[in-house]
Every structure is written in structure tokens, then in C-alpha cells.
Structure 1
Amino acid sequence: MHNASSISIVSNEFLPDEKFDDDGRIKRTGTWQSATAHIITTIVGSGVLSLSWCFAQLGWIAGIITLILFGIIMLFTSFLLVDCYRSPDPVNGTRNYTYMNAVKANLGMLQYKICGIAQYGVLIGVTIAYTTTTAISMAAIKKSNCFHKHGHHADCHVGNNPFMVTFAIIQIILSQVPNFQKLAPLSIIAAIMSFMYCTIGIGLSISKLIREGMAKTSLTGIPVGKDFTGEEKMWKMFLALGDVAVAFSFSFVLLEIQDTLKSSPPENKSMKKATTVGILASTVFYMMCGALGYAAFGNNAPGNFLTGFGFFDPFWLVDLANLCLVIHLIGAYQVLAQPIFRLLEDWSRKRWPQSALITKYYTLGNVKINLFRLILRSTYVTLMTTIAMIFPFFNEFMGLLGACTFWPLSVYFPIEMYISQTKIRKLSFTWIFMQLLSLGCLLVSLLAGAGSTRGLIASLKIFKPLGSVS
């Protein structure tokens, strides 16, 4: 316990003994390893669980090609993006602390505003979707134990709202971590958890294959028949493309992660190493989860392949996988929320530079507390949780939002910024190649957006506010 005398007020955010970088900010201490943890935490989200379903829609050929292709595209565009952290020179230029700052420095104010809408729109959307997804996983653990205790025919339906509130309380506490640099331990834990639940899913798939053999699969996915029309297959394939695109999307926080790296070796060099390891590891896990899940369940692969293993055999292992997923999303939420907190706090400091509420820091033992940070971040978490509780179909909307923002944030802006910064000649081979790549990814986003819109309309027909039940 600390009494009142142990609390002191610090006028400035930085303590006297802290070291600073060339730009006057606290010296960055991040390494390529910590950046890799942030990247894996962001990429390997709950979307990995739907990849076996994506394989069922696309089939073996298109499924494998799609995963490999998206991995290569994301690696290429990420390399372009990390070279835009400093402008105009990628090693000695001026730092761009955020994605939006990089767009502003290279492409001007109009595209800066468009980027802001896309980037913070998807970040807000993902934090809401993670609230919903985590609650469903928490509920799945309770349901599993209920079925194991009372039998599979027992009424074990569970309301998701209490779990959303629990998740919100945890996030309010964790959101007081001041910035990305302080999140490294949480990201490392979250990255380990993502590998754990992926590994459990892979292990369960292999076990099912050994016991029951390979399920009915196809080179082209679910065949068209009287119960599954060609039009329905087309829409499902579009939706699967969107799921894969969203599963690989992480560019919207890439420069924010890069801003945590120490300047020696050069940030872009360390970030390229981190990006390569992060995307390669994620692609391997994606391929194993998607392919083995499809082999185990065949054309009847569920949307979340962990739920397809049932509640009995072995129920505790599925519970462990869901628990790992919950811990992972707790960390991933913070990685995605930090850019939002930073934007709001930086704007507030500029708007009210003399405000004592914003500028004063209180020390409680070894912890610095800022009342404005406490109020702002707690309000954000509470608001996002409320939206998640009111709109239980939000995951469908997230699919639409992700499909719409994949092209601009992951492909268009990185390519256009790199062209502008390196002054690539118009109509040169490199310029034409990049424009064709951008056009192809735009087409994928449009198709995925169409499939997600159709799913959203269907969800609206059965919409029940505050009625999220697992």
C-alpha cells in the first residue's frame, strides 16, 4: 500500500535521467526481435481459424496459390513501406512517426486525409471485432465444460455480454501502458499464444486424420450441385478471398512498430528482417492450419476449425486452444489500439498545451500516472465494448471494412509512396509492374467487399441488439 505522501507530481512526461534520440524523443530501444513479435501478434489473429473454411471454398489449387501469393505480395509491399519511415532518404532522412505522416510527407495532404480515414477506421473496427471474438472464445470454454459435465444435449447456451465486460476491464488496465515500446513483453506473450493455438489446431487435425482418414476434398473446393448453386459458390469464393486478404493485413501499424526500433542498425534494415521472419512464420502456420484443417474436415470445414473438434475428445485441449486465443487477442488489441491512443493524445497536447490535466504526471511508487490518459483510454475501451455488445454481427462488418482497406493500406499507399520517394520514372518497367500489381489487388478488394456486403445484409435480417449468445 502507498500512502498519500508517496504520490508526487511530475510536470513533464520525461524523467531527467532518460536518454533521447536525434529527434528529441525518448531513445528507442526496440530490436528486430521485438518488432517480429509485434508483427506476428498483429498478423496471426483469429482469422487463421477460418482458413480451412477458405480452402473448402477455393479448393486445393486456388487455396494454396492464394496463400502463397498474398504472402509474397505483403512481403514486397511491406519492404516498400519500411523504406518510407524516413524521408526523403530511407536511412538518414526525417522520421515519419506514423503511417499517416509518411503519406503526408510523400503524397500530400489530400491522400493524408484519405489514409487517416482508412487506417483509423480499420483499427477501430478491429478493436471492436476482437472484443466480440474474445467473448465468443471465453463462452466456448464455458460451453465446453457444461457439455462435458451435463452431456452434449444439455442447454449450455451462454450470453457473450458478461465476457465482453470482463475483456473490457482487462483492456482498461492494460491500456495504461504508455506506448508501443512498453508493450514488447505483452506482444511476445501474445505471439507465443498465437503459435500455441495454431499448433493445437494442427495437432487436432493430424489426430483426426489418423483416426478417421482424409475427409472428402476437391481440387476446386465444394462442388456445385442442387444444394449449392454456381452463384452461391462464386460469392463464397469472393468472401474467402477477403478472409485471406484480411488475415495478411498488418500494414496499418507497420510504421508505428518501426518507430520503436533503435537507430543502429538502420531502422529499415531491422524492419525488413522482422517483416521477413514475421510474414514467413505466419504464412507457414496459415498453410498448415488451412491445408490440414481442410484435409481433416473436407468440404464441410467449419468457419472456426477449432469448434469442429467437438467438446469431448479431448475437450480440455480445445479449451486450452481457446484460452490461448483469448490471451493472444488481449495483447493484439493493445498493439492495434496504441496508434489510436497516440493520435488522440498528440492532438490533445497540441490543442491544449497548457492544460494541467494533460501535462501533469503523478508518480505512485515506480509508476507514472496521467489522469488524461486514464480517462481517455478507459473511455475508448468502454465505447468500443458498448458497440460490440449492441452489434453482435460486427464480425461481418469487419470483413467488409477489412476488404475495403486491404488495397489502399497494404498495396496502394506503399507503392505510391515508394514511387514518389525514389522518383521512379513513369511508364518504366518497374512503374508498370507496380501499377499492375496495385490494380490486381484492387480487384481482389472489390470482389471481397461484394462478398462481405452480401453476408452483412444476411446478418442484418436476424439482427438482435445486445443479443449476442454462443
Structure 2
Amino acid sequence: MSLVSERKYRRSPKTLPPLPTKKPDYYEPLQSETGFDGASFSGAVFNLSTTVVGAGIMALPAAVKQLGLIPGLIMILFGAMLTESSIDILLRFTRVSKSSSYSGVVHDAFGDFGRILLQLCIFVNNTGMLIVYMVIIGDVLSGTWSEGVHYSGVIEEWFGQRWWSTRSVLLLLTTLLIFLPLISFKRVDSLRYTSALSVGFAVVFVAITADVVIVKLINGSIGTPRLMPKFTGQESFWKLFTTIPILVTAYICHHNVHPIENELKDPTHMKLIVGTSLSLCSTVYMATSLFGYLLFGDKTQDDVLANFDGDLGVPFGLFLNDMVRVSYCVHLMLVFPIVFYSLRLNLDGLLFPHALPIAFDSRRFYLVTAFLMSFIFIGANFVPSIWDAFQFTGATAAVGAGFIFPAAIALRDTHGVATKKDKLLSWLMIFLAVSSSTVAISSDLYSFFNGEEAAVGT
């Protein structure tokens, strides 16, 4: 090593090396073969935004209902700021560890055990999300049963009951015609157009809800919203904490940060891409929460999509209901491949940690893809009661990948670059992650055993 380079490495441990200006070496052959010279800024923003805005958006109006309008909107902003801080820590430690993946950063700090644990967290979290996405798509298209009552899907409403309008057939057609073509891309940047369209459909939902709210405000049929939480006893106080898992995990996108960064023309733009994406997502989240809560008030369901099952009390109300459900369904279809991309990468890294990157091995690529898609399809068709199960996995795997691992990396600080602010934020993230997981799991256990007692009593 030269004298100049030795001096660079003898600088203060708080001095960070410059951002990398080139992509990992193993991407160069793929680029030369396909003519791909790097992802654009806008494509990266849409891909990261699509990773963030998934099914969780529909639970935010209910969270605002519990917290009150003002604290709810503030907490949504706080979640975005905390997520940006955790990703910033992750990116800085990526540079100093000279890694090109999330699992590589964790391996640098905690070895093989940490890498395997992270990849398991991402596998559980992403698999759970994708099964939930398919279940929701099936509910919207073919309908569902709840407590002995059948709720019709849009296909059933439009065309009546047909053999091809059943849940399993519609999900099979969705898999063959939409999912399989989209999950067959070997570069995440190939999904930039579908990701932009996905964000657009989320905006359509917000726009329709906002228009309905404006019409009802004009005709005076919307009551005054509750600005602060309502306390009616100890139970209502503790119920406020059940919103923490929703707010903490609403912005989870860490598993796709490195795949997106690795394909950029200029990796130095990644921090700005993260900030732009989170600003876009927090705007959509706040608008959804505000207009959803204003529209339905204290009748807001845990999944606000369930509120769009009747006449909205405005002209063309039934048509707008269908528009909301279809736009959200298409949104989830287009979110699916971007989440699947990081799922496949992490499962491959878990099973074949020392093999050539999966993009260069077509046989392994398609085998892993077929296995995962089959598993998710079977789960969506034969495990309909998945919400309680995935509340457990989401409260552990999601917060682990999104907050606990970045915070633990900063606290471990193997390269001596973490600041006091980093460590304070890391302790805060760990506290929020552990407390949210504890609240969510305790709430699920309480509901489960209370339900069993009620069943025994009857």
C-alpha cells in the first residue's frame, strides 16, 4: 500500500470514505451482454416507492382513528424520518465494509450467523407479504366469506358466478398472465415502468377518496373528525399501542435498497433517491389516512378497503367503489414482483451463499423462481386464515430487517464510524421495534385466548 493510501486509512475513524462511483464488478458482464448502462434516478425512485407502498397503506386510516388526526399524521411523518435514518446508517456502513448487499453488511458485522438470521427474516417477511397480497387480490376479484356472510368480488358482480370466476382459477390466471412475466426479469430496473404504474394506482385511490370527501364536505354530510385520542379506560389507552407495528413497519423497504443501488448509473444518488421516495410515500400515506378517516370517521375498518362495500352517498357511488377496489387490486399485482425480487435474492443467498450471483445462472434462477411462486400460490389458496399468523411474523421479521439489524450494525461499529447521534437513534429504533413486536404479539395472544374462552362459554 502506498504512503498516500496509508494516510487515508489513518484518518479519524469518523471520516467516511467517498461514495462509490461504480457498480459491483459482477454486474459488468450482465451490463455488457444486455446493453444496460445503469438505472435512472426516476426508475430507482419508483422501484423503491413501490417496495414501500404495499398492503399496509390500507391500515393507516384505522391507525389515525385510534391515535386521533393530529398525532396520527405526526407519527406517519416520524416513521418516514426514522426509516430514512436507518437506511442512511445502512448505506454508510455498506461503504466502509465494501459490501454490495444487505446480507454482506450484516456478515461484516456479525459473521455467518448474523447473515443467515437476516436472510431468514427477509424470507419470512416477504413470503408473508406476498401471500397476503394474493389473498387480498383473490378477495377483491372473487369475493370472500366472513362469519358466514359472502362478500362478492368485482368479477362476480360484473359477470355473475362462473367456473372461471372462482378464487383458485382467478389467482391461477393472475399468476400465469401477470406475475410470471414480471418476476422473470433478472434486473430490478426492468420493473421501473410497472412500479411507476403501481404508484399511479395508489394515487388513483387517494384521488377518488379525496373527491368523495370534498363532495360530502360541500353537502355537509361529514362530521368533525376527532383530533386527539379518546380515552374511555385502561383498555383504550393500551389499544393506542397496537398502532405502533403498523406505523413502524409501513416504510419497510431495506431489503431492496442494495439491489436498486447496485444498478444505478451513479450510486452517489442513492441517498437522494431514498429521501425522494420516502417523501413521496409519506405524502401518499398522509393523504390516504386523512381522507380515509374523514370519509368514514369512527366506522373506519382495520382494512379501509372493507368500507368500500356499499353506497358512498355520492353520485356514481357504486362505480367509485369498484374503481377503488380494482385500482388497489392492480396496485398490489404490480407491487408483487418488486417484493418477489428481493425474496428470490435472499433465498438464493441463504441456500447458495458461495455460488455465482443468481442472475448469471439461468437454471438456478428459474428453479428458485418456480419454487417460490408455487409455495406462495399454494399458501394463498389453502391457507385463507393467515392474518393472525402473519401478524406474528410481521411483528418480528419486518421490524428485524427494517430497524433492529441497521441499529445493531451501528452499535457494533466494527469500523469505528458511528457517531453519537447514530447510536442514540439506534437505541431508539431497537426500543420501538422491540416494543411494537411485544405489543403486537401480546395483543394477538390476548385476542386468541379470549376468543377461545368465549367459544368455550357458548
Answer whether TM exceeds 0.5 for this pair: yes
The aligned counterpart of 1:173 is 181
Change (3 A) 1:79 1:360: closer
Q: Which moved more, 1:158-167 or 1:101-110?
A: 158-167
Change (3 A) 1:344 1:108: closer
Q: Given residue 294 of structure 2, which amino acid in structure 1 is its aligned partner? A: A
Q: Which moved more, 1:205-214 or 1:62-71?
A: 205-214
**In the alignment, is residue 423 of structure 1 matched against residue 416 of structure 2?**
yes
The aligned counterpart of 1:283 is 282
The aligned counterpart of 1:298 is 297
Partners of 2:24 and 2:210 lie apart in 1 by 46
**In the alignment, is residue 62 of structure 1 matched against residue 55 of structure 2?**
no
TM-score, with length taken from structure 1: 0.76
The aligned counterpart of 1:443 is 435
Change (3 A) 1:77 1:181: same
The aligned counterpart of 1:23 is 25
**In the alignment, is residue 35 of structure 1 matched against residue 41 of structure 2?**
no
The aligned counterpart of 2:213 is 205
The Cα offsets for residues 292-334 of structure 1, whole Å up to 9 and x where unpaired, read as 2212211111233344244444222222222222222122111
Find the residue that maps to 1:128 and give its secondary structure. helix
**In the alignment, is residue 322 of structure 1 matched against residue 315 of structure 2?**
no
Contact 1:215 1:297 in 2 (8 A): no
The aligned counterpart of 2:369 is 377
Query: Structure 1 unaligned runs (5+)?
Result: 1-19, 89-93, 362-369, 463-470
The aligned counterpart of 1:466 is none
Partners of 1:237 and 1:135 lie apart in 2 by 31
Partners of 2:282 and 2:310 lie apart in 1 by 28
5 Å-filtered alignment, 1:125-140, equals 125-139=128-142
RMSD: 3.5
Q: Which moved more, 1:56-65 or 1:40-49?
A: 56-65
Question: Cα distance, 1:280 vs. partner?
Answer: 1.0
Question: Cα distance, 1:445 vs. partner?
Answer: 3.0
Change (3 A) 1:251 1:71: same
**In the alignment, is residue 404 of structure 1 matched against residue 396 of structure 2?**
yes
Change (3 A) 1:440 1:127: closer
The Cα offsets for residues 45-95 of structure 1, whole Å up to 9 and x where unpaired, read as 12212221111122224312321211111111111122233333xxxxx34
Q: Given residue 39 of structure 1, which amino acid in structure 2 is its aligned partner? A: L
How many residue pairs are counted as aligned between the two chains? 410
Contact 1:393 1:459 in 2 (8 A): no
Find the residue that maps to 1:86 and give its secondary structure. helix
The Cα offsets for residues 177-199 of structure 1, whole Å up to 9 and x where unpaired, read as 22313222222222222222232
5 Å-filtered alignment, 1:14-413, equals 23-25=25-27, 26-27=30-31, 29-88=38-97, 94-96=98-100, 98-139=101-142, 143=153, 160-169=167-176, 170-215=178-223, 217-221=225-229, 224=232, 230-231=234-235, 233-234=236-237, 236-262=239-265, 264=266, 267=267, 269-312=268-311, 313-345=316-348, 370=362, 372-413=364-405
Question: Cα distance, 1:454 vs. partner?
Answer: 4.2
Partners of 1:410 and 1:458 lie apart in 2 by 31
Change (3 A) 1:244 1:452: farther
Contact 2:121 2:401 in 1 (8 A): yes
Contact 2:107 2:114 in 1 (8 A): yes
Identity %: 16
The Cα offsets for residues 343-386 of structure 1, whole Å up to 9 and x where unpaired, read as 45567777888xxxx9998xxxxxxxx45544432332122111
Partners of 2:350 and 2:117 lie apart in 1 by 18
Partners of 1:37 and 1:411 lie apart in 2 by 22
Change (3 A) 1:328 1:430: closer
Change (3 A) 1:222 1:387: farther
Partners of 2:274 and 2:382 lie apart in 1 by 36
Higher helix content, 1 or 2: 2
The aligned counterpart of 1:12 is none
Contact 1:306 1:318 in 2 (8 A): no
Contact 1:194 1:324 in 2 (8 A): yes
The aligned counterpart of 2:10 is none
Contact 2:199 2:331 in 1 (8 A): yes
Partners of 2:74 and 2:40 lie apart in 1 by 32
Question: Cα distance, 1:168 vs. partner?
Answer: 2.5
Question: Cα distance, 1:220 vs. partner?
Answer: 3.7
Q: Given residue 84 of structure 2, which amino acid in structure 1 is its aligned partner? A: L
Partners of 2:229 and 2:238 lie apart in 1 by 13
Question: Cα distance, 1:212 vs. partner?
Answer: 4.2
Question: Cα distance, 1:271 vs. partner?
Answer: 1.4
Contact 1:87 1:105 in 2 (8 A): no
Q: Given residue 126 of structure 2, which amino acid in structure 1 is its aligned partner? A: L
Query: Structure 2 unaligned runs (5+)?
Result: 1-21, 32-36, 144-150
Partners of 1:124 and 1:130 lie apart in 2 by 10
Q: Which moved more, 1:170-179 or 1:68-77?
A: 170-179
Change (3 A) 1:328 1:394: same
Find the residue that maps to 1:248 and give its secondary structure. coil
Partners of 1:35 and 1:71 lie apart in 2 by 18
The aligned counterpart of 2:16 is none
Partners of 1:222 and 1:247 lie apart in 2 by 23
Contact 1:134 1:167 in 2 (8 A): no
Find the residue that maps to 2:223 and give its secondary structure. coil
